[in-house]
Amino acid sequence: MKVIKDVVCPFCGSLCDDIEVVLDKGKIIEVKNACQLGAVKIAGNEGGKRLLSPLIKIDGKFIPVSYDEAAVKAAEILLEAEFPIFYGFGSTEAEAHKESIILAEEAGAIWDHCPSVCHGPSVMGIQEIGLAGCTLGEIRNRSDLIIYLGCNPMEAHPRHMSRYTTFPRGYFREKGFQERTVVVIDIRFTETAKLANHFIQIEPDGDFEFISALRAILRGRELREKVISGIPVEKIQQLAEIMKNAKHGVIFFGLGLATTKGKYRNVDAALSLVRDLNEHTKFYVMPLRGHYNVTGAQNVITWITGYPFAVSLTRGFPQYNPGEFSMASVLSQKEADAAFIVASDPVGNSPRKVMNHFAQIPVIALDPYETPTTRLADVVFPVTISGVESEGTAYRMDSVPLRLRKVKPGPKGILTDQQVLNKIHKKYIQLKKKKN
């Protein structure tokens, strides 16, 4: 029996780094400390069919081939394409992000990742207003007011409250939850709301008006309306007092804010509210990110190109335009003539228009498991599961980078995302030289 400690969970953006994995003869028999979501992923019980050989589709049938043969086919597809798109990356290591961006630049492609279908409005709001940010460690040690706005961590990030925000004892919060106030603002009574001191149930699509009312009250303005977004003004005034009187407050927001009516303007309002609150006390704000390394993908593309998502590298220099270069736009406009998908299943999760175009163009897919995207692809590369079968770097939702650990070997002969990308890149260079 072997116990590996301090394993980082590669499931959600909380990246809990206190996981213990118990192995017997190289097999995982127990995962300690993780929530159900993380434990299932680490133990490999996700239920999908594991891919065990690179595949090339010929006449509609998959033929098993070597990695080299599949890499040549992938390189040929990229060489022939005039407007390829690279997409995915939320669930792979930062080293693979870097490798994929280098290849995308070489191939003159669009490079996009998950925010274009989820937290993109948050990223755009942050670009406009700026972010009063801090780490989850600071929140654990200092925060006495936690606000969850349009998000439900008890179901999406199950250990968020117990590890970072609500229940743990901190350096300046020795009594743990007894010294903290939790407020949930949402359109429905969620599992997270059950644990809150205050639950404020706003009307659907009422976020912008509600936040604007809070800002007006904080600035000492009189409101003409008696009820805003379904909430009596006295209750909004009480919340403004709670916020002003906190010593160290934080707002976590989710897609319930960023993707409802108003989108990045909602985020803009929440960030502005936090800026206003800093005239009274210390206040911070953080998007609650879903996939475990979507923050990493955003960091890596930003250090390389200066832009956070939806980046076009087609003209030899980076251009940024979410409305034009996001995966959904490029596919629904039928512009892309090849797709390169890493650690994502856009075919299984996209609108019909996007799916239809995926079916019309050559698709290259890297994934540990069979998915609707790998089934539709022309070239498929099996890969290890980062953070379980291979190492790498991941960025927690507060942009703190953590080292993912390898806890067991992957299936025999299976490469990592980074190794596959590197192989395709080398083949691409060789073929390009030959062609010229």
User: Contact residues for ligand SF4 (CB under 6 A)?
Assistant: 9, 11-12, 14-16, 34-35, 37-38, 157-159
How far apart are the C-alpha atoms of 395 and 297, rounded to whole Å?
8
Least distance between ligand SF4 and beta carbon 137 (Å): 15
- Shortest distance (Å) from residue 157 CB to ligand SF4: 5
Chain-centroid distance of CA 233 in Å reads: 35
User: Over the range 298-319, which residues count as b (16 or more CB within 10 Å of their CB) and which as e?
Assistant: bbbbeebbebbbbbbbbeeebe
Spatial contact of 131 and 139, defined as CB atoms under 8 Å apart: no
Residue sitting closest to ligand SF4 (CB): 38
Cβ closer to ligand SF4: 14 or 165? 14
Give the nearer residue to ligand SF4 in terms of CB position, either 100 or 293: 293
Distance in Å, CB of 39 to ligand SF4, minimum:
7
Quick one: which H or E segment has residue 274? helix 264-277
381: number of CA atoms within 13 Å, CB side?
Answer: 32
Q: How far is the CB of 159 from ligand SF4 (least distance, A)?
A: 4
Nearer CB in complex with ligand SF4: 42/110: 42
If the CB atoms of residues 13 and 382 are measured against ligand SF4, the closer one turns out to be 13
Closer by beta carbon to ligand SF4, 15 or else 274 = 15
Q: Angle at which helices 94-107 and 294-305 pack, to 10 degrees?
A: 40
* Shortest distance (Å) from residue 418 CB to ligand SF4: 22
Count of positions (residues) in the chain: 436
In whole angstroms, give the CA distance from residue 272 to residue 83: 38
Q: Cβ of residue 7: shortest distance to ligand SF4, in angstroms?
A: 10
Minimum distance, C-beta of residue 17 to ligand SF4, in the bound complex (Å) = 9
Q: Decide: 393 and 401 in contact? Cβ < 8 Å.
A: yes
Nearer to ligand SF4, 73 or 160 (CB): 160
**Cα dihedral 37, 43, 49, 55 sign:** positive
Pull the structure tokens for residue 194.
Answer: 């059950």
CB of 178 to ligand SF4, least distance (A): 23
Nearer to ligand SF4, 187 or 400 (CB): 400
| 8 Å CB contact between 422 and 416 | no
Which of left, alpha, beta for 416 (phi over 0: left; psi -120 to 50: alpha)? Answer: beta
**Looking at beta carbons only, is 18 or 337 nearer to ligand SF4?**
18
